[in-house]
């Protein structure tokens, strides 16, 4: 009997009227979550969204609107993108999802290559810093990988580490020698970072005059100045929250306040139906700031009042996009003019804006990956908005959805591997987060993580 995949299980009962795969169309047929997944896994094929020599996912590819051919890439990758791709390969290798371009054995082989390349970066002078990775890296024409900047960010390193933890959790007890080797290489990468994490963890807000969140840690390191970056990880409802958590799991900082002192704020929002909801604030009101960590950790098992908090956030953003005729949810993304905007979010959820510290962007485009992330909480709602995206013409390329979709179905030409990774993994449920949980439990830190997350309780910003 054929094994039922994770996606086919998720798709049960989620069928809406929309167009079929390939290119978007105004004709209608049955759209399933599986179809959306397959249409966007196409990004992750060698020579398209994945470099053929290194198997690293390109940060950005550009696809012509008429021919739908790739015109260029930016020739870079970052470690968050690499980690998410490793997790997609893990799901392929274990039969949770099926790719038309990568079979199980090829997925295992690519995980071995990529983890070895990360080890090589750690072991080559100038290509990492105390075991931590730069942001981003250039992929040169001969396959050489070189740092593009002097920035060592906490967030991209910790995202990679959580993705590696999924590999360790999945394979650390495997009897298959190749899978066991993947786990060992992933663990070696993690262990090689001790000096870097410990160095960054000693720089906290306590060095500032009259600081809030005194134990909040520096956001990374600049190797050009040999100093910590000039800002801190000081918001809990943000995509960086896993960084101090990782330091605590590994014992690289003993200061629990690095996580528990991060403030988290909420806003009272009146919905159009008159209902009053209390929604947590992220810095820009975007979907990935709230939900990227959810791909990597079962926060639904950790955060008090999780369902209410996260569903209220989605409801507030849904109201904004409906009121403004935007056909996809909102997140940091490219725009239809191919510029990049980190502040494409709902104003009522945007802490910087509601406090009067920031202005809103001049325009806001929707993005398919935010719609995919919504599936983590509400698959039927996610499919409702994918249905709208498929009814647009020319939004779907042979490599997945364009990253930006405007009010009238207009698009840019960019596809971003971070966003494609979030879209795909947002549709695949809890498997990766469960593997991460297996790793955390194996090192005896799950109860500690449970205790830390009891502090995830928003307070009114005013």
Of 161, 192, 223, the residue at which a domain comes to its end is 192
Query: Are 106 and 26 part of one and the same domain?
Result: no
Query: Are 454 and 313 part of one and the same domain?
Result: yes
Query: Are 279 and 387 part of one and the same domain?
Result: yes
Query: Are 280 and 394 part of one and the same domain?
Result: yes
Of 166, 192, 218, the residue at which a domain comes to its end is 192
Residue 5 covered by a domain: no
Phi and psi at residue 17, to the nearest 5°? -75, 125
Query: Are 371 and 439 part of one and the same domain?
Result: yes
Query: Are 278 and 168 part of one and the same domain?
Result: no
From residue 156, give the alpha-carbon distance in Å to each of 96, 153, 219, 365.
25, 6, 10, 25
Residues 6+ apart with CB under 8 A from 458: 237, 264, 265, 266, 278, 280, 281, 309
Query: Are 432 and 381 part of one and the same domain?
Result: yes
Of 158, 192, 226, the residue at which a domain comes to its end is 192
Residue 37 covered by a domain: yes
Q: Print pLDDT tens along the chain (462 aa).
A: 333 233 333 333 333 333 333 344 433 458 999 999 999 999 999 999 999 999 999 999 999 999 999 999 999 999 999 999 999 999 999 999 999 999 999 999 999 999 999 999 999 999 999 999 999 999 999 999 999 999 999 999 999 999 999 999 999 999 999 999 999 999 999 999 999 999 999 999 999 888 989 999 999 999 999 999 999 999 999 999 999 999 999 998 878 999 999 999 999 999 999 999 999 999 999 999 999 999 999 999 999 999 999 999 999 999 999 999 999 999 999 999 999 999 999 999 999 999 999 999 999 999 999 999 999 999 999 999 999 999 998 999 999 999 999 999 999 999 999 999 999 999 999 999 999 999 999 999 999 999 999 999 999 987
Query: Are 334 and 409 part of one and the same domain?
Result: yes
Query: Are 38 and 79 part of one and the same domain?
Result: no
Query: Are 297 and 441 part of one and the same domain?
Result: yes
Query: Are 180 and 312 part of one and the same domain?
Result: no
Show contacts of 201-208: CB within 8 Å, 24+ apart: 201/247, 201/252, 201/253, 201/255, 201/258, 202/253, 203/228, 204/232, 204/255, 204/258, 205/232, 205/234
Phi and psi at residue 39, to the nearest 5°? -70, -20
Residue 29's pLDDT is: 54
Show the domain range for 120: 72-192
The total domain count for the chain is 2
Residue 11's pLDDT is: 37
Query: Are 158 and 277 part of one and the same domain?
Result: no
């Amino acid at each position: 009997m054929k094994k039922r995949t994770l996606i086919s299980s998720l798709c049960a009962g989620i069928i809406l009227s929309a167009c079929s795969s390939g290119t978007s169309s105004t004709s209608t047929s049955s759209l399933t979550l599986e179809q959306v997944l397959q249409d966007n896994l196409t990004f992750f094929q060698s020579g398209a969204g994945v470099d053929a020599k290194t198997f690293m996912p390109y940060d950005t590819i550009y696809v012509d609107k008429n021919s739908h051919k790739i015109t260029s890439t930016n020739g870079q990758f970052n470690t968050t993108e690499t980690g998410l791709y490793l997790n997609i390969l893990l799901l392929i290798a274990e039969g949770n999802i099926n790719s038309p371009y990568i079979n199980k054995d090829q997925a295992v082989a690519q995980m071995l290559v990529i983890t070895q390349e990360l080890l090589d970066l750690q072991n080559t002078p100038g290509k990492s810093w105390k075991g931590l990775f730069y942001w981003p890296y250039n992929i040169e024409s001969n396959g050489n990988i070189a740092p593009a900047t002097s920035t060592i960010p906490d967030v991209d390193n910790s995202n990679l580490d959580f993705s590696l933890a999924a590999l360790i959790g999945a394979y650390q007890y495997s009897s298959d020698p190749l899978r066991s080797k993947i786990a060992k290489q992933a663990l070696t990468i993690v262990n090689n970072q001790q000096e870097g994490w410990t160095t960054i963890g000693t720089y906290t807000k306590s060095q500032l005059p009259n600081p809030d969140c005194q134990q909040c840690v520096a956001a990374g390191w600049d190797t050009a100045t040999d100093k910590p970056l000039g800002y801190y990880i000081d918001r809990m409802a943000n995509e960086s929250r896993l960084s101090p958590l990782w330091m605590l799991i590994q014992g690289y900082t003993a200061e629990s306040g690095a996580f528990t002192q991060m403030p988290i704020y909420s806003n009272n929002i009146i919905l159009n139906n008159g209902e009053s909801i209390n929604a947590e604030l992220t810095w820009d009101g975007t979907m990935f700031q709230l939900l990227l960590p959810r791909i990597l950790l079962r926060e639904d098992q950790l955060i008090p009042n999780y369902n209410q908090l996260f569903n209220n956030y989605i409801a507030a953003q849904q109201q904004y996009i409906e009121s403004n005729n935007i056909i996809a949810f909102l997140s940091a993304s490219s725009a239809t003019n191919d510029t990049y905007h980190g502040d494409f979010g709902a104003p009522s959820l945007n802490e910087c804006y509601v406090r009067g510290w920031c202005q809103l962007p001049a325009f806001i485009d929707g993005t398919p990956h935010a719609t995919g992330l919504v599936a983590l909480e509400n698959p039927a709602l996610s499919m409702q908005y994918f249905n709208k995206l498929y009814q647009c013409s020319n939004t779907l390329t042979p490599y997945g959805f364009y990253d930006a979709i405007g009010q009238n179905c207009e698009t840019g030409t960019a596809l971003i591997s971070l966003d494609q990774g979030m879209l795909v993994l947002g549709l695949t449920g809890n498997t990766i987060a469960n593997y991460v949980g297996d790793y955390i439990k194996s090192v005896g830190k799950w109860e500690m993580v449970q205790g830390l997350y009891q502090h995830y309780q928003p307070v009114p910003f005013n």
